A and B are shown apart, each in its own frame.
Chain A
Amino acid sequence: MSGAILFDNVSLKRGGREVLSGISLELTERRIGLIGNNGSGKSSLVRLLNGLLSPDTGRVNVHGLDVKDDVAELPRKVGFIFQNPDHQIIFPTVAEEVAFSLEQSGRTRREAAAEANAALARFDREAWAERPVHALSEGEKQLLCIIAVLVMEPAVLVLDEPFSSLDLPTRRRLERLIAGLPQQILMIAHEFDAYASYDRVIWLHEGCVQMDGQPDEVVGAYRAFAEASQ
């Protein structure tokens, strides 16, 4: 099945610790949330999807690609947005940052530059092209990261706590933007109201799936658990 993410009995150890134990999931929904305490394995789980980490046991398949056998093709298929935009942006100006993704996809420099401007225009941000990155606000930088990843036209977009450093209005704007995207979205966030319109939320606890289902139920259960463990 090409439109699904499959985890088949996946286990992973990092630094001697077992961070994922026997995870088996079939993700076909369009909007999926991933919640849980810090250290529960969420970040490790999503990093299996773009080849940053490799499972010790089991198999992971993303839209037809095996994460071990087809690892070189993963960056094109799986777009990844990290928590801190400053840790992701590698070029000094906006246009260069976007053009890099295109060059990685095989365009020549000239083609990439032209398409980068077109991409910025689609988001009403043509004016940003020559701007130095450090002149952008946190929210603008995060938007830049999203644009730079989307131009590679991935099938899946993974977001690892993308809203942490953003204020509420900026977050809402980005949430709305993300909600309108054609990609399959898998998002880790601590701002649970973002999951209101999602199809499925998975609660990961100490490397295992604690609960898996409708956003209201799972978030509610997690909230109760968090309160109780005070």
Chain B
Amino acid sequence: MISLYLAERTWLHGIPAGWKLIALALISLAMTPLDNLPIMVALNVATLALYASLGRAAMAQIALLRPMWPLFAILLALHWWNGDIRLGLIVSLRILAMMLLANAVTMTTRMDAMMDAIEPVLTPLGWIGLSPRAVALAVAMMIRFVPLLFALWEALNEAYRARTGKRGGWRLLSAFCIQTLRLSHHTAEALAARGGAPRGPRR
């Protein structure tokens, strides 16, 4: 399925996922209490330089933030109204930089590698019955279901249109819920037939 992972390999792709996540967390912790406009500007410049070093495809991702313009505008307006436009700028720049940095980690890390990096954190969940393998299975099943449910919705829509000439929209939701519940029964059965939900580490 479409993912946010950038296929063109960059230097950031080579850095282990765990390191990137820790770096992101540290930068986030450091930046949050900061009330320093020059530092925020510097952070954003550094972030843009990072993106530039990752290539054109990465730079194109910055455009993905465009829908957030209204939000930033409202944010600045509210701070200006309160008489503290400087704080508004700091906050906006901080959010912008952090979102771009976090996105850079996502772009350069495979989902599988992320799972591996996070797995040590997940092991305590094993004590309440959620083994890392079960989590991995849940993730895989969910991804598997998305196109299937899409197709199911389209099938219901098609049948509705054939009967009424109109698009189903929200009216299909009840039938959709019932059908998906039936699907879950069958899938649970199939899972049981193959040994059931796994226990233990991901090996």
Q: Which residues of A pack against B, CB within 8 Å? A: 50-52, 75-76, 80, 82, 84, 86-92, 96, 100-101, 103-104, 108-109, 132-134, 148-149, 152
CB within 8 Å for A90 and B198 given contacts A82-B186, A108-B203: no
Contacts between the two chains (Cβ within 8 Å), count: 67
Instruction: Let me know if B189 is at the binding interface, CB within 8 A.
Output: yes
Cross-chain contact B194 with A133 (CB below 8 angstroms): no
Q: A103-B203, A104-B198, A109-B202 are in contact. Are A91 and B193 (CB under 8 A)?
A: no
In whole angstroms, how far apart are the Cα atoms of A88 and B190 in the complex?
5
Interface residues of B in 105-146 (CB under 8 A from A): 133, 137, 140-141, 143-144
When distances are taken between beta carbons in the complex, the residues of chain B under 8 Å from A100 are 137, 194
Across the two chains, which residue of chain A brings its CB closest to B147?
A134
Give Cα distance in the complex from A75 to B192, angstroms. 8
Partner of A132, one of B1, B187, B196: B1
Which residues of B, 1-26, contact A by the 8 Å Cβ criterion? 1
Asked whether, in the complex, the Cβ of A52 is within 8 Å of the Cβ of B195, the reply is no
Q: In the complex, what residues of A have CB within 8 A of residue B187's CB? A: 87-88, 90
B193 touches which of A75, A92, A96, A108 (Cβ 8 Å): A75
- Chain B: interface secondary structure? helix
A-B contact pairs, 18 of them (CB 8 A): A75-B194, A76-B195, A80-B193, A87-B187, A88-B186, A90-B137, A90-B141, A91-B141, A92-B1, A92-B140, A92-B143, A92-B147, A96-B140, A100-B194, A104-B195, A104-B198, A134-B148, A134-B151
Residue B57 at the A interface, CB < 8 A? no
Given known pairs A90-B140, A91-B144, A108-B203, the reply for A52 and B189 (CB within 8 Å) is yes
B191 at the interface (CB under 8 A from A): yes
For chain B, the bracket of interface size reads: 20 to 34
B148 to chain A, nearest CB (A): 6
Q: In the assembly, what is the distance between CA of A152 and CA of B195, in Å? A: 11
Contacts of A75 in B (CB 8 A): 192-196
The 7 tightest CB contacts between A and B, nearest first, are A87-B186, A88-B190, A134-B147, A104-B195, A75-B195, A80-B193, A92-B144
Q: How far is the CA of A88 from the CA of B147 in the complex (A)?
A: 15
Q: Besides A52-B192, A100-B194, A108-B203, 12 other CB < 8 A contacts? A: A82-B190, A84-B186, A86-B148, A87-B183, A87-B190, A88-B187, A92-B143, A96-B140, A103-B198, A104-B195, A109-B202, A148-B194
CA–CA, A94 and B54, complex, Å: 32
Q: Mark B60-87, 1 if CB is under 8 A from A, else 0.
A: 0000000000000000000000000000
In the assembled complex, the CB of A199 is this many whole angstroms from the nearest CB of chain B, namely: 25
Query: What is the minimal beta-carbon distance from A212 to any residue of chain B, in angstroms?
Result: 26
B144: which of A52, A76, A90, A104 is its contact (CB, 8 Å)?
A90
CB distance from A154 to the nearest CB of B (A): 10
With both chains docked as a complex, state the minimum distance between the C-beta of B172 and any C-beta of chain A, in angstroms: 18
A195 to chain B, nearest CB (A): 24
CA distance A149 to B193 in the complex (A): 10
Residues of A within 8 A of B190 (CB): 80, 82, 87-90
